[in-house]
Amino acid sequence: MRCDSDDHRIDSHGKRRNGMTVAGGRAGTLGPRVALASTSVKILVPGNHLMAGLLGQRDEFLRQVEAAFGDRARIMVRGNEITIEGPEADRVGQLFEELVVLLERGHALDQANIGRTIDMVNADERPSEVLTAEVLKAAKGRTVRPKTSGQKRYTDAIAAHTITFGIGPAGTGKSYLAVALAVQALQAKQATRIILTRPAVEAGERLGFLPGDLMAKVDPYLRPLYDALTDMLEPEGMARLLERGLIEVAPLAFMRGRTLNNSFIILDEAQNTTPEQMKMFLTRIGYGSKAVVTGDVTQIDIAGGRSGLVGLEEVLGGIDGIAFVRLTGRDVVRHRIVQDIVDAYERAGTF
């Protein structure tokens, strides 16, 4: 329950509720957040179990929040009561409210998602809306969800458009989330097959002659997509779908001349297509199909650097049914140092 200084109660959807606030969809689960003064906020957290999850072992999450806001917010904890003072008191109060909602909905907190939650609150976003969205129920009951607001925009765009371009640096989940949505579409019978393709261009290395059949030759290039599929379906399930032709793998050159109906198609590493290849791919899409094109324009390996992904939004951006989503270093979900590396390269304007 949230109580502002003028005694208005406002629920998680911004609605006033006659003195009672709904947090996480249930009345009265979160104690009042009281604005004691312009720079002071008090929160009452219901239940010792929520308080323990909120603060972390040996208060590690509390220390993480304190480090993020520094002297802009002083946090004091007594029992189930949290008092925040300072110029960022209201924002930190909102952060704790969002974290309590996540705990109530069954999310286990860790330092990574605490950090992402802080980033979202600082950007005036609602972590409880982003992190509770469900993309796929994967193998062993694990749920695939977006982990940043950028990822949520990306998955929403894929659901709403025929062709979606996901453009951003490594580690932002472009390929992984596309595969998750492809599996979900196949399971829901919204597509009859998944088609995975990418240009066969080496990342500055020479792989030489690759022996074996088509699958063996293409396998090294599509390994990231295989890894994502295996993570969601487990090896046995993926093998069955490959045998039945419900998952098809092919190099981009093999798309020429085909019309792909009722399919979920993923073109990965699209920054390494030529403009001619990109046009060829986009004109293969048939009735009932959906396509996701992923790429990182800072990692172009194609000879001459003439990428079919660069400048494409200027050409296709006005077409109904096509969406462009740009992910940034804020959406990196690998080790925190990866985000720092991406940000450093962006600041330097290199690669």
Write out pLDDT tens, residues 283-331.
999 999 999 999 999 888 887 778 999 999 999 999 999 999 999 988 9
Q: What is the DSSP letter of 9?
A: B
Element (H or E) spanning 22, and its range?
strand 22-23
Distance CA 105, CA 146 (A): 15
Alpha-carbon Rg of the chain, whole angstroms?
23
Position 156 confidence tier, pLDDT thresholds 50, 70, 90: very high
pLDDT above 70: percentage of residues in the chain: 82
Q: Which residue has the higher pLDDT, 346 or 40?
A: 40
What is the rounded distance in angstroms from the CA atom of residue 77 to the CA atom of residue 63?
12
Q: Which of 224, 288, 277 is nearest to 253 (CA)?
A: 277
Cβ-Cβ contacts under 8 Å for 39 (sequence gap 6 or more) = 85, 86, 87, 89
Residue 335 has pLDDT above 90, yes or no: no
Q: How far apart are CA 318 and CA 57, in angstroms?
A: 51
Q: Is the pLDDT of residue 165 over 90?
A: yes
Q: What is the pTM of this model?
A: 0.78
